[in-house]
Amino acid sequence: MLAVGEGSETNVEFLLAKGVDPNRQTQTGETALMVAVRFANMAIVENLLKHGADPNLQNQKSETALMMAAGYGSTATVISLLKHGADPGLRDKKEQTAADHAKVEWRRDAMALLENLPAQE
């Protein structure tokens, strides 16, 4: 988690190659993917997803990496997470979806992207 927070792509790659679990959660439920999203580090986001990071894991607030990316307005990250199976229909403890997170923060690009997704069956 520290390597992700420091933005060290080399260290993250080394740890993942050694078998570190990309889905390990802190006491608050944060994952390395969530930290990478928070720091808007697409290279690390992509590397974690490539190594099996689950974009649908939720922290103690039931927030996902997709909700965080939407709230930060990172459309490239939103697109990447969706391509790797992020569920836009998940809700946090406030019953908000990723689209709601984008709305609250007035992230218009992310909001438009999430609102125009095909309906899930």
- Decide if pLDDT at 86 tops 70: yes
Q: What is the pLDDT of residue 98?
A: 93
- According to DSSP H, which parts of 1-121 are helical? 2-5, 9-17, 32-38, 42-50, 65-72, 75-83, 98-104, 108-115
**Single-letter code of the amino acid located at 7:** G
pTM of the predicted model, to two decimals?
A: 0.87
Are 72 and 80 a contacting pair, CB within 8 Å?
A: no
**Of all residues in the chain, what percent carry a pLDDT higher than 90?**
60
Residue 13 banded pLDDT, cuts 50, 70, 90: confident
Are 33 and 49 a contacting pair, CB within 8 Å?
A: yes
Q: What is the pLDDT of residue 17?
A: 85
